[in-house]
Amino acid sequence: MARLVAIIVAVAVLIVASLATRQETPITIVESVEAPAGDGLLDEVDVLLAERTAMFSGCVAGNTDDGFETRKFEWEQQQRQTVSVLGASADAEHLLVAALLSWRDDLDGALSILGEAAARDSRNPLIASQILELCMEIDHCNRARPEMEDNLIVADKANVMAWVQVARSRLQRGDEAGALSALREAVAAGTVDDYLVEYVLLFDRALAASSDLSAHERMVSAFGFGAGLFSGTYMISSDCRERAENSAEWGDVCLRLGERFEHDARTLLTKAIGIGMQVNMYEIGGDARSQEQAQTRQRDFRASYRSLSVQSVRAEELKDATVFRKYLEILATGGELEAMRYLADEVSARLPPAADAQQPACPDP
């Protein structure tokens, strides 16, 4: 089963890269944190997805003997089996996971499955978000976009991220005024939640229903899937930069949105994008002093998670599902940086120093 876990995490990285192709620059996995170029968005996504995925991917590097393509083929077989089991379920969450696993290969099929999930649980914010996200990806989507936007707001009105997704949907269909209005609602919304914890637990429950993985293997695999989900919502940074050049109104609302991301988000990725947005908006507005202050926070922020990732990256070696669940609990209440501190402490207390470790993280299959 360790081999299957490695395959799932490795291909989750591949899924992230394929989703990123909607932009001109693909997402790649990098090993070091460098100063961002351009608007900094893809650099932050690169680094933070790499750090997050590496935390649970200790098995990937150790199983390269028969090639990535072979591992990918085996994973795809397992994926088809999982989709077959979950796609026949009457449970809305199972259908959501089946759709997410089908998305890369069959957009129309995934949309059909999501429609079934929405019919069973129209108030589920994950389902409402994913069906809108998918319809934005399909040129011939025949569903009423405004209705889907309304459904998402009904399901998740207090979430900044829901309003941002609605704003991007409105931009895509040419409603600039409606998009700006949605961003104002986003700035005023109560919470900033990209649902990383909920997605990981969603995949964990789905794997429990459709596989014979152990609790530890399920959690590692679920984290690979959950961390690999990349929402187009984050591309609001590019939308903001493009429009703020010619509109003080856009510049103001995007600056305030960046502040909400930085101060109120639980995940490192959303916080990093928020700081980057502020750097961009201050640059466009000609506020050199505030831009420099934001860049200092950006450097300090990177240093804070990079120092922890050296230890937390070994968490998979613990082989302990309870540690991963505790990590998610801390992430949900205290944020991802605090959760990384917990992992680093567990690794320091329970594992020998890396240079003295004798056993590989993952045994041969």
pLDDT tens digits, one per residue of 282-304: 999 999 999 999 999 999 999 98
Compare 361 and 330 and report the one with higher pLDDT: 330
Least confident stretch, 54-63, 199-208, 256-265: 54-63
Compare 308 and 326 and report the one with higher pLDDT: 326
126-169 per-position pLDDT tens digit: 999 999 999 998 888 878 899 999 999 999 999 999 999 999 99
The DSSP-derived string for 132-168 is HHHHHH-TT--S-HHHHHHHHHHHHTTBHHHHHHHHH
Predicted pLDDT of residue 334: 94
Predicted pLDDT of residue 49: 52
Compare 111 and 9 and report the one with higher pLDDT: 111
Length of the chain: 365
Q: CA-CA distance, 182 to 162, in Å (whole number)? A: 9
306 confidence band (pLDDT: 50, 70, 90): confident
Predicted pLDDT of residue 61: 43
pLDDT average, residue stretch 46-68? 50
Q: CA-CA distance, 334 to 288, in Å (whole number)? A: 32
Predicted pLDDT of residue 104: 79
How far are the Cα atoms of 43, 252, 304 from residue 40, in angstroms, in the given order? Answer: 5, 19, 18
pLDDT average, residue stretch 79-83? 81
Predicted pLDDT of residue 215: 92
Compare 173 and 224 and report the one with higher pLDDT: 173
pTM of this prediction exceeds 0.85? no
Predicted pLDDT of residue 202: 95
Predicted pLDDT of residue 160: 98
Compare 323 and 316 and report the one with higher pLDDT: 323
pLDDT average, residue stretch 170-187? 97
Least confident stretch, 46-55, 207-216, 262-271: 46-55
Please determine, for residue 52, whether its predicted confidence score (pLDDT) is greater than 60. no
- Residue 63 phi, psi dihedral angles, 5° rounding: -130, 65
Residues 330 and 339 sit within 8 Å (Cβ to Cβ): yes
Buried b (16+ CB within 10 A) or exposed e, 9-19: bbbbbebbeeb
Residue 247 in tokens = 């509109």
Sign of CA dihedral 234, 236, 242, 247: negative
pLDDT average, residue stretch 188-211? 93
Q: How far is CA 66 from the centre of its chain?
A: 29
Please determine, for residue 364, whether its predicted confidence score (pLDDT) is greater than 50. no
Please determine, for residue 358, whether its predicted confidence score (pLDDT) is greater than 60. no
Predicted pLDDT of residue 229: 79
